[in-house]
Amino acid sequence: MSTLADSLFEAYKWLTPYEMILCAIDLFLLGWYAFPARRLYRWVDFVPSAGVLTSALSLFCGDTTLPALILYGLNGLLFLFTAKRIWAPKRHAPLPKRRRLRAIVRAASCLAAVSPIVLALLLAGELRYNPASDFRELSYSEAFVRLNERLSKEYPFGDWKQVDWEALERKYAPIFQEAEKNRDKELYYRALREYLFSFRDGHVKIVNEALYEDNPVFKREAGGGFGIGAVLLDNGQARVSLLLKGSPADSVGMALGDEIVAWNGRSALDVYRSAAWSENPTATDGDRMMNQGRFMTRAAVGSWAKVEYRSRANNELRKATLQAYEDDYATLKATKAKLKRTDAPIEGRVLDNGYGYIQIRYFLPNDAVSDPAGFFAGIVHDFQNRSVKGLIVDVRDNPGGDDDVAAAIAGYLSAWKRHYESVSYYSRTTGRFEVNTGETRVITPKESGYKGKIAILVNHNTASSAEGLPLVLKGEPRTVIVGFTSTNGSFGVMSRPIEAKMPEGYLLRFPDGRSLDAHYAVQGDSDGQGRGGVSPDIQVPLNEETFAAKYIEGQDVELQAAIEALEK
């Protein structure tokens, strides 16, 4: 009850001025009609009309959030039920004894009508009004300055990542000014992208960027492929991890596992680490490292690359000259996690060795699985009936979904009750970040939950809500996290994302909330140096042996490591 009371009391932090006025009007009218005074006041008959006007102004400002719509609807009903009083006011107080029953019914109805207001207040934090900024008609530099100013107040991780907003303005404002002076759209796009990616936040994005479809800058710089992709081993060697048949690299005899020693006269390690392109911002160093191997071997169509490589077959040092061809971004698409909403969000099976295996592709329902948590529980129940030796939960390449679903699933795996997260947002009323009391999630272990050994598989593409499962279960005595790298490090909340419409039609989107642990510290998200996410308890080494097993022989190395951990 105290949490509910706190949520209602603190809801003012998330309401717009119009919504506050509507709450006051609706509560006043319901109280007045429930317990009318003996003396009638003519001005009260016009209060519902004031509510209608307030609703119209709020709608005009663009507030179509669910809490606002609830208040609009309630006020509209109050207006309709009492509109005749404007033209035909009552002359007597409606409380004669013979109408006492009617008065009781009316009072009960008015009190019941308070429930929509309570609902609106409970939803106000998570579904608050957060309008998009429209900078489309401004110059490049003006739009950037206004964007940077808004983010300096509202971006949830400015302090956590130690973002120096003034330094960013000093660095990028002159570039945007040069772009507008020379009418250079490509320079503007580059500067905007570099600015956004500097946050190292996987939730930051240009929504309508369409890299693979119609992006001249991306096409010119990364549109050509040589038919290979690379992965950096722990010892600093860049190895060929992908080879397309019939490609230039294949034609000169390169093979999977060959070591790239030099690229256009530079050491492979230097070229690898300097690769800057990516589809999305790379939040952690592990995410960046895996992504750089995908773009190291991309270039402009028709460009040449002089490659020095060491054959894995005979250790012979060879040289080749390759020309980039238009491959429709084949190497990038082949190494990008593929996910469709038609794919089942959760699937499970018992492995031949007796372990239960559950893959969670995303934490959202679809047409086939309307209740992912319940579906997960059913798989766990089946596994327990079949006495599996242990449970492996695979959230690799899982982009996230709904925190409530993730928290519910965690209840079937956790050994004890524990805090999942509190959420804080920027409050326009107080001018600072505030905890939304009604959005605190707690893991409650289920009686039907799994009680045996658990391994959770993660990788650099385990992002957003998918990071909640390893985050909350890390440290439990019967659970182990396994992977090559930490999770993505982008655990921010996207309830009502910050949006900005920029010149040249770009729509930008940013997370609006931060997930906090039981001590109200930011959890899950990477810092400004790329440290963050959930680190594995058992970090699988990326050496020659595991590389060969994974990229040449096609084995699931992380799964094998998880089984070995459970066996021990």
CB atoms within 10 A of CB 86: 13
**CB-neighbour burial class of residue 245 (10 A; exposed 0-12, middle 13-18, buried 19+):** exposed
Closest by CA position to 242, among listed 252, 253, 228: 228
Enumerate residues 6+ apart whose C-beta is below 8 A from 396: 457, 458, 459, 461, 462, 483, 558
- Cα–Cα–Cα angle for 58, 63, 65, rounded to 5 degrees: 135
Q: Round to whole Å and give the CA distance between 372 and 549.
A: 33
The one-digit pLDDT tens for each residue of the chain (568 residues) are 557 777 788 889 999 999 999 999 999 988 888 777 666 777 888 888 999 999 999 999 999 999 999 999 999 998 898 877 777 776 555 555 546 666 677 677 778 888 999 999 999 999 999 999 999 999 999 999 999 999 999 999 999 999 999 999 999 999 999 999 999 999 999 999 999 999 999 999 999 998 999 899 999 999 999 999 999 999 999 999 999 999 999 999 999 999 999 999 999 999 999 999 999 999 999 999 999 999 999 999 999 999 999 999 999 999 999 999 999 999 999 999 887 778 899 999 999 999 999 999 999 999 889 999 999 999 999 999 999 999 999 999 999 999 999 999 999 999 899 999 999 999 999 999 999 998 999 999 998 899 999 999 999 999 999 999 999 999 998 999 999 999 999 999 999 999 999 999 999 999 999 999 999 999 999 999 999 999 999 999 999 999 999 999 999 999 999 999 999 8
Q: Round to whole Å and give the CA distance between 185 and 191.
A: 10
Residue 257 in contact with residue 312, Cβ under 8 Å?
yes
Residue 42, token pair as written in the block: 């003519």
Question: Which residue is it, tokens 């300055």?
Answer: 145
Enumerate residues 6+ apart whose C-beta is below 8 A from 500: 132, 133, 134, 135, 147, 150, 507, 508
Say how many CA atoms lie within 13 Å of 180 toward its Cβ. 16
Q: Round to whole Å and give the CA distance between 256 and 484.
A: 20
Q: Tell me the C-alpha to C-alpha distance, in Å, between residue 166 and each of 161, 401, 500, 527.
A: 14, 34, 19, 19
Q: Round to whole Å and give the CA distance between 543 and 541.
A: 6
pLDDT recorded at residue 90:
66
Q: Round to whole Å and give the CA distance between 459 and 420.
A: 21
Q: Round to whole Å and give the CA distance between 433 and 249.
A: 53
Residue 310 in contact with residue 240, Cβ under 8 Å?
no
Q: Round to whole Å and give the CA distance between 293 and 282.
A: 13
- Report CA 404 to chain centroid distance, whole Å: 13
Residue 371 in contact with residue 408, Cβ under 8 Å?
no
Q: Round to whole Å and give the CA distance between 191 and 180.
A: 12
Enumerate residues 6+ apart whose C-beta is below 8 A from 39: 93
Question: Which residue is it, tokens 């009508």?
Answer: 113
Residue 91, token pair as written in the block: 């002359």
| 455 strand-pairing partners | 392, 480
DSSP 363: B
Residue 507 in contact with residue 142, Cβ under 8 Å?
no
Q: State whether the Cα torsion 231-233-236-240 is positive or negative.
A: negative
Q: State whether the Cα torsion 293-225-399-396 is positive or negative.
A: negative
Q: Round to whole Å and give the CA distance between 9 and 557.
A: 52
| SS3 category, 475 | coil
Q: State whether the Cα torsion 459-463-466-469 is positive or negative.
A: positive
Closest by CA position to 364, among listed 338, 344, 391, 336: 344
pLDDT recorded at residue 9:
84
E strand or H helix at 121, and its extent?
Answer: helix 114-123
E strand or H helix at 506, and its extent?
Answer: none
pLDDT recorded at residue 6:
77
- Report CA 32 to chain centroid distance, whole Å: 45
SS3 percent helix, strand, coil of the chain, rounded to 5, is 40, 20, 40
Q: Round to whole Å and give the CA distance between 64 and 426.
A: 19
Residue 244 in contact with residue 330, Cβ under 8 Å?
yes
Spell out a b/e string for 116-135, using b for 16 or more CB atoms within 10 Å of the CB, else e: bbeebbbbbbbbbbbeebeb
Residue 551, token pair as written in the block: 């990229």
DSSP 444: -
| SS3 category, 202 | coil
Q: Round to whole Å and give the CA distance between 286 and 232.
A: 11
| 180, amino acid identity | E
